[in-house]
Amino acid sequence: MTDLEPGTKLASVVCATEVVVIRAPSQPVEITCGGVAMVPADGPDAHSGTLGADATDSDNPTLLGKRYASDETGLELLCAKAGDGSLACNGTPLPIKGAKPLPSSD
Residue boundaries of the structural domains of the chain: 9-93
pTM of the model: 0.83
pLDDT in tens, 34-47: 889 999 998 887 77
C-alpha 40/C-alpha 81 separation (Å) is: 14
- Asked if residues 51 and 28 have their Cβ atoms less than 8 Å apart, the reply is no
- Alpha-carbon torsion (69, 40, 29, 85), positive or negative: positive
Question: Smallest Cα–Cα separation from 10: which of 36, 42, 34, 35?
Answer: 42
Strands 39-40 and 9-11: antiparallel
pLDDT in tens, 47-72: 777 766 545 455 789 999 999 999 89
